[in-house]
A and B are shown apart, each in its own frame.
Chain A
Amino acid sequence: MKKIIALVLASVMLLAFAACSSREKGDYSFADGDQYEEIGGELNILNWGEYIDPELITLFENETGVKVNYSELTSNEEMLIKLRSADCIYDLCFPSDYIIEQLIAEDMVLPLDYSKIPNAKNISERMKEFTNVFDPGAKYSLPYMWGTVGILYNTTMVDEEVDSWDILWDEKYTGQIWQYDSVRDAIAVSLLRLGYDINTRNEAEVEEAKDELIKQIPLLQGKGTDNIRDFMINDKAALAVLYSGDALYCCDENENLAYAVPKEGSNVWFDNVVIPKTAKNVEAAHAFINFINDANLAARNTEFIYYSTPNQGAIDRLDAELVEDEIFNPSDEVLSRCSVFHDLGSFAEVFNKAWIEYNTRSGK
């Protein structure tokens, strides 16, 4: 018995070791031979889960002598709460488009000093067209990662073509569907299916979208965020609303999976880096933004996170196979169907109310 336990333990350790070493270290040198001065102090970063190559943080610490404190969270709404709190300690964070619009409107972020971010030149023009919608001229924020929202499906369970949000309401798939657990994303799916704008300010439309979501509840296997990936990879569910980056990761792990951006359109989203007004180490924050936008490092970071990068320098350095992938790099035709979320201002209350009613199944 003891031998078996020892054997199991040994193989587990071996596996863990293999997992660590199988990832060969890429080229982490600076593309333009950047030099960083010793800055020191601390840098508090707030970001999404698994949303940076940890190697980058170590490298940055070694280059600049800055101690990085890195925290993670799972929703934009949580990020907003943290940034609004009186004792906000963060020097850098990575909110999405509509939150940035709100942060700018509420005067909560610092304008970027581009003299300290020479690597901003790497950001592609195509992306700037989109981000101009919520931050004209990228005055306050620089795109970090981007992607679309779509349907990830299992081709062994779904025979028909997936090209419409309607399939998520198909009773054939009862108990095999995952909805996304976030106010804007879930309601957007329902709005798009009904043919409405994802930034609608029409109360009746939001109400209708909510009622449709409530009708969908009995068909769901669940409503989640990062946890959806495991269910899809392990063939546990047929259909899921998911971000393109997560979808790409899942497709890599399970070849039966495919991803589609429905014909009714979808959301194209951006996570940009911003410096909150409360930042204490603005110098280090700028250095970090410049650092992650280095073409080489951005390429490594993209390989790690697997979301689409707005960094043209990085795209030029990535595998052609990845760059040509329709999930990673959607065509202009797909993007023409997608729109960016806007901050809804006080109308956000209508969405929040609908969200609570959805979660408590209390349609009128």
Chain B
Amino acid sequence: MKRRAFAYPYIVWMILFIAVPMLFIFYYAVTISGKLDLSVFWDTLKNPVNWKLLLDSIVMSLKTTGICLLLGYPIAYILSNMKKSVAGFISVLFFVPMWMNFVLRTYAWQAILNYVLPSIFGSKGTFTGTEWAVLLVLVYDYLPFMVLPLYNTLSKLDKSLLEASRDLGANGVQTFGRVILPLSVPGIVSGITMVFIPAITAFTVPVMIGNGNPDFFLYGNIIEIAFKQPTPNYAGGSTLSIILLISVFVSSLIMNRFDKEQIQ
């Protein structure tokens, strides 16, 4: 009973900062100037453009997650085989940029893509305003979230299992495919969750690195535009946010499923 008291501040926090704002979003989605009105809500749901942009965002997010996984896995694997002290130091290096604000880092990338890289490659133009630049910065932003859970899982791997695998005649590739990879799935799943979900909601990178070109706009950008009009479309913007919330919720459910199956 006494211990439960410690949970109260957390419950208050959850109600104030998670439940109440969500209720507000729902309230604004189904009302127009205070009156219940579902017209904008349905129109927004029925508008194929919104779904197309959601799909674009999911595709972009999948690309980001895929590249992060391809880059992050080897990094985490190499780290896990290093001496603890060295690996610890290097993983701190991964964290250090995250001490700096995300927008500032994106500004730094603007400078790199506009001036540094073009001058290295002898190009007069700029590399911002291209899809690969947007993808590159997204990957940069989310890579640590992939590496760290993977590193955690891989470094806890029981080394005697690897020795056993060798003893039983498996070569390096077989050991990796049959022992290391299956055992690291929980790390892969949490890495994917930590990259995929925030990447769907990305909206500063398309503006700052995509140079605001509508060609690179993602779902988050239409939510922003809905609220930033001269007469803000609260109902539409809130409905769009609900769609995003639900998609995020569904994808984390799917991820959890994977996670549980692995544990069983």
Identify which of residues 192-239 in chain A touch chain B, using a CB-to-CB cut-off of 8 Å: 214, 217-218, 220-224, 230-231, 234-237
C-alpha gap A352/B217 in the complex (Å): 17
Chain B residues positioned under 8 Å from A214 (CB to CB): 214
Q: Is the CB of A360 within 8 A of B49?
A: yes
Chain A residues positioned under 8 Å from B211 (CB to CB): 220-224
C-alpha gap A349/B233 in the complex (Å): 11
What secondary structure prevails in chain B residues at the interface with A?
Answer: loop
Residue B15 at the chain A interface, CB threshold 8 Å = no
Q: Is the CB of A359 within 8 A of B215?
A: no
Q: Is the CB of B222 within 8 A of A175?
A: no
Residue A267 at the chain B interface, CB threshold 8 Å = no
Q: Is the CB of A236 within 8 A of B231?
A: no
In the complex with contacts A175-B125, A231-B126, A236-B126, A223-B212 CB distance below 8 A: yes
Chain A residues positioned under 8 Å from B226 (CB to CB): 356
Encoded as 1 (CB less than 8 Å from any B CB) or 0, chain A from 322 to 357 comes to 000000000000000000000000001100100111
Once A and B bind, how many residue pairs between them come within 8 Å at the CB atom?
A: 84
Q: Is the CB of B231 within 8 A of A349?
A: yes
C-alpha gap A356/B49 in the complex (Å): 10
Residue A270 at the chain B interface, CB threshold 8 Å = no
Residue B230 at the chain A interface, CB threshold 8 Å = yes
Which residue of chain B has its CB nearest to the CB of A184? B230
What secondary structure prevails in chain A residues at the interface with B?
Answer: helix
Partner of A175 from B129, B214, B225 at Cβ < 8 Å? B129
Chain B residues positioned under 8 Å from A356 (CB to CB): 222, 225-226, 229
Which residue of chain A has its CB nearest to the CB of B211? A222
Q: Is the CB of B114 within 8 A of A352?
A: no
Size of A's binding interface in residues, CB under 8 A = 35
Q: Is the CB of A222 within 8 A of B212?
A: yes
Partner of A220 from B129, B217, B228, B229 at Cβ < 8 Å? B129
Chain B residues positioned under 8 Å from A217 (CB to CB): 213-215
Which residue of chain B has its CB nearest to the CB of A221? B129
Partner of B225 from A76, A81, A237, A359 at Cβ < 8 Å? A359
Q: Is the CB of B217 within 8 A of A360?
A: yes
C-alpha gap A362/B49 in the complex (Å): 7
Q: Is the CB of A352 within 8 A of B229?
A: yes
C-alpha gap A174/B91 in the complex (Å): 42
Residue B241 at the chain A interface, CB threshold 8 Å = no
C-alpha gap A221/B209 in the complex (Å): 11
Chain B residues positioned under 8 Å from A222 (CB to CB): 128-129, 210-213
Which residue of chain B has its CB nearest to the CB of A181? B212
Chain B residues positioned under 8 Å from A236 (CB to CB): 114, 124-126
Q: Is the CB of A176 within 8 A of B125?
A: yes
Encoded as 1 (CB less than 8 Å from any A CB) or 0, chain B from 35 to 66 comes to 00000000000000100110000000000000
Residue B115 at the chain A interface, CB threshold 8 Å = yes
C-alpha gap A80/B228 in the complex (Å): 10
